[in-house]
Amino acid sequence: MSSSSPVNSYLQLATAGVQMLTPYQPGKPVEELERELGITDSIKLASNENPLGASPLAVEAINKTIHAINYYPDGGGYALCSRLAEKHGVDASQVTLGNGSNDILELVTRAFLTPQHSAVYSEYSFAVYPIVVQAVGATAHVARACQENHASMPLGHDAEALLAQIDDTTRIIFIANPNNPTGTWLTPAQLEDLFRRIDETVIIVLDLAYTEYMDEQIKPPIRQWLQQYPNLLITRTFSKVYALAGLRIGYSLSSPEIADLLNRVRQPFNTNILAQAAALASLDDAEHVTKSVNMNNAGKLFLQKAFTELQLSYLPTMGNFISVNVKQDGMALYQRLLQQGVIVRPVANYAMPEYLRITIGTQQQNERFVETLASCL
Ligand SMILES: Cc1ncc(COP(=O)(O)O)c(C=O)c1O
């Protein structure tokens, strides 16, 4: 501040919620790390991206659309919403597009929360929930997660603990299934039991960013649940199995009434023209999804076996990542791996200081990671 400025600090002028916020810490771009470390062949297993890359159909759609980038996109995303509605067996009025599903998480807080309201989520759940809740000055009610020694779902969501955090001020409950960074999940029966016990005045945000990677028998029956629970808002993304993270596109499915409310706070052109075209085309490439999921399943088994051989325990996962207990300071080990060009995600910011979260890569990447890990331990 200049000495003549009447303002001591702009921090004091920010809203109370924003003053308390810690910004989300994204991983450094690979190019920057390589420059810093003087290496050229690093692998990034840090942000739960799809290592296979986007579907060729998506790339073709982008090439075909690129001539039109001087025009605004279709603000309502008519073609994509219609296709998504068809895919899920719902009406197009139930689909809301977001600049990544992250955007939807923010829209829902802006539509439903004020500083007088609260949102409920679990310990160790996705880092964006506290940010979007605090940004609007609302209160977070954080539910205790299952203990680390829990028989089947260590550090997973505890349905009873979540319910206990709901009170008269609560307008939203966030449930990530599977959750990031733990990879843990609730079964459809457990989720349904939870939904039945949540008052209709509370919006249930069921975050299904990784749902394509789940085993078939525990995939949520989306269409049926949307019919049964008018307070349900399901978020989905093209960033994970569809491999379009850099384009930023996701969506939600809800009742038309909730979709209408989200659309009131949504920027008119929140999803871009290339993202809409690529997302639409990707939906036609079921083979690419299957290939990605199969590769993920094989990679998961490979990493689990390797961790067992290294006598490291890991959390059960239904995502394209796995969190492993490295029995030492995760941040220090992360730095050592980094020096060898292997970029993973330390999760001390999630209060899991002895864990590292590893995105499941190609077989070659997984092998390089395991060899490097063994040498760094
Ligand atoms: C659980 C969960 N939800 C939502 C997102 C947001 O993804 P995007 O904004 O790319 O759709 C992520 C991304 O990592 C996630 O892990």
3-state SS, residue 325? strand
The answer to whether residue 1 scores a pLDDT higher than 70 is: no
Ligand 1 centroid distance, CA of 180 (Å): 8
Token look-up 């810093």 returns: 36
Q: How confident is the model at residue 363 (pLDDT cuts 50, 70, 90)?
A: very high
**pLDDT attached to residue 2:** 54
Over residues 228-238, mean pLDDT: 98
Are the folds of 25-53+287-376 and 57-282 the same?
no
pLDDT digits (tens, 9 = 90+) for 179-213: 999 999 999 999 999 999 999 999 999 999 999 99
Ligand 1 near 242 CB (within 6 A): no
Q: How confident is the model at residue 26 (pLDDT cuts 50, 70, 90)?
A: confident
Ligand 1 centroid distance, CA of 5 (Å): 41
Ligand 1 near 182 CB (within 6 A): no
The answer to whether residue 28 scores a pLDDT higher than 80 is: no
Largest CA distance in the chain: 66
Ligand 1 centroid distance, CA of 257 (Å): 24
- Strands 95-98, 250-253: pairing is antiparallel
Beta bridge partners of 134: none
Over residues 318-324, mean pLDDT: 98
pTM (global) more than 0.85: yes
**pLDDT attached to residue 17:** 87
Ligand 1 near 170 CB (within 6 A): no
CB 223 within 8 A of CB 255: no
Side-chain half-sphere CA neighbours of 118 within 13 A: 14
90: alpha, beta or left? (left if phi > 0; alpha if psi -120 to 50): beta
Ligand 1 near 245 CB (within 6 A): yes
Tokens of 262: 């989200």
Contacts of 46 (CB under 8 A, 6+ apart): 27, 343, 344, 345, 357, 359
Mutation to probe ligand 1, out of 47, 49, 97, 101 (largest number of atoms < 8 A from CB): 101
Fold of domain 25-53+287-376: Aspartate Aminotransferase, domain 1 (3.90.1150)
pLDDT digits (tens, 9 = 90+) for 239-253: 999 999 999 999 999
Q: Report the atom number in ligand 1 closest to the C-alpha of 126.
A: 1
- Domain borders along the chain are 25-53+287-376, 57-282
- Angstrom distances, CA of residue 280 to CA of 71, 95, 250, 277, 374: 18, 14, 11, 5, 42
Dihedral of CA atoms 64, 29, 183, 366 in degrees, nearest 10, equals 90
Return d(Cα 332, Cα 205) in angstroms, integer: 35
Phi, psi of 183 (to 5 degrees): 85, -5
Q: Report the atom number in ligand 1 closest to the C-alpha of 238.
A: 11
Over residues 92-120, mean pLDDT: 98
100: alpha, beta or left? (left if phi > 0; alpha if psi -120 to 50): left
DSSP 126: -
The answer to whether residue 263 scores a pLDDT higher than 60 is: yes
CB 45 within 8 A of CB 364: no
Over residues 325-339, mean pLDDT: 97
57-282 maps to CATH 3.40.640.10? yes
Which of these, 124, 120, 127, lies nearest to 27 by C-alpha position?
127
The answer to whether residue 5 scores a pLDDT higher than 80 is: no
CB 57 within 8 A of CB 281: yes
**pLDDT attached to residue 358:** 98
DSSP 170: E
